[in-house]
Amino acid sequence: MSGLLKGKKGIITGALDENSIAWQVALKCKAEGASIVLSNAPVALRMGKINELAEQTGAIVVGADATLTEDWEKLYATAMENLGGPMDFVLHSIGMSPNVRKGRAYTDLHYDWYLKSIDISAVSFHKMIQTAYKMDAMAEWGSILGLSYIAAQRTFPDYSDMAEAKAILEGIARSFGYHYGIKNKVRVNTISQSPTKTTAGTGVGGFDAFFDYADRMSPLGNASASACADYCISLFSDYTRMVTMQNLYHDGGFSSMGISADLMQQMNNLQTP
């Protein structure tokens, strides 16, 4: 422990189990001296193990439906009362696609589910920020982070409508980053993380094959959930006060690669009779 977040207060959303990036972020926030409130959707609270995380971090748990503004208002009000003031950081780790979950092809989307994907995975980020903005729930020089994925810029067929959701998420960070920076010097960023073996990630079709592909493509290999949590901590800290409105790649170099020698060798081996 170095106390990088000593005295800071924050909200961590989306921790389901120990495989979750948000779970790892919460543990590291505690280790670095922060006080936190945990939140997830009511159904996730029933399915996951968040109460175990609350015991480990000394946090309270507040259930909130991320699609409902009134739930965000309740969450911020409870967090400010419990922690004694506005937040220094907030993590948005929320995403779900009914189309992906139910196996609907991108060429045969159920449009009501599509809108649900966008609402849960992206519009909730705007609601999270806008509610804080109106309630003055963020401290000056605070940090807001959303977790994204490179499918926002490049095509990964099985990622389906979540690609559009992540593109919107990143756009919201740029747009609201301007307004919140002007208002209160609050910075807003997204992290584009490697494919990660979380409960949500492994629900995407062909995940294991793609995980191996990305690992071979990336000079440093895939970034783990724990490594991503370290990066989040740095962006919550005062050392990154002038970083805002950015989509920051945390992917072992994958986003800058064309092809790797490892993959070339693998392809040559497949072609050898």
pLDDT tens digits for 55-77? 999 999 999 999 999 999 999 99
CATH assignment at residue 101: 3.40.50.720
Q: How far apart are CA 66 and CA 209, in angstroms?
A: 31
Domain around 81: 9-271
Counting Cα atoms < 13 Å in the Cβ hemisphere of 272 gives 6
Q: 2 in a domain, yes or no?
A: no
Q: Does residue 71 lie within any of the structural domains?
A: yes
Q: Give the closest residue to 168 by CA, choosing from 132, 131, 121.
A: 121
Query: What are the φ and ψ backbone dihedral angles of 82, each rounded to 5 degrees?
Result: -70, -40
Please say whether the beta carbons of 89 and 145 come within 8 A: yes
Q: Could you tell me if 252 and 44 are in contact, meaning their C-beta atoms sit under 8 angstroms apart?
A: no
**Residue 4 falls inside a structural domain:** no
* Domain presence at residue 1: no
pTM confidence score: 0.94
pLDDT score recorded for residue 11: 98
Residue 257 lies in a domain: yes
Question: What local confidence, expressed as pLDDT, does residue 178 receive?
Answer: 98
What's the pLDDT score for residue 203? 61
pLDDT computed for residue 204 by the predictor: 66
Would you say residue 27 lies in a domain? yes
Q: What are 128-155's pLDDT values in tens digits?
A: 999 999 999 999 999 999 999 999 999 9
What's the pLDDT at 46?
83
Side-chain-facing half-sphere of 23: CA atoms under 13 Å: 19
With a cut of 70, list the residues of the chain below it in pLDDT: 1, 48, 199-205, 272-273
Is 3 inside a domain boundary? no
Q: What is the pLDDT of residue 47?
A: 78
Report the pLDDT value the prediction gives residue 199, as an integer from 0 to 100. Answer: 67
Domain count, the chain: 1
Residue 152 lies in a domain: yes
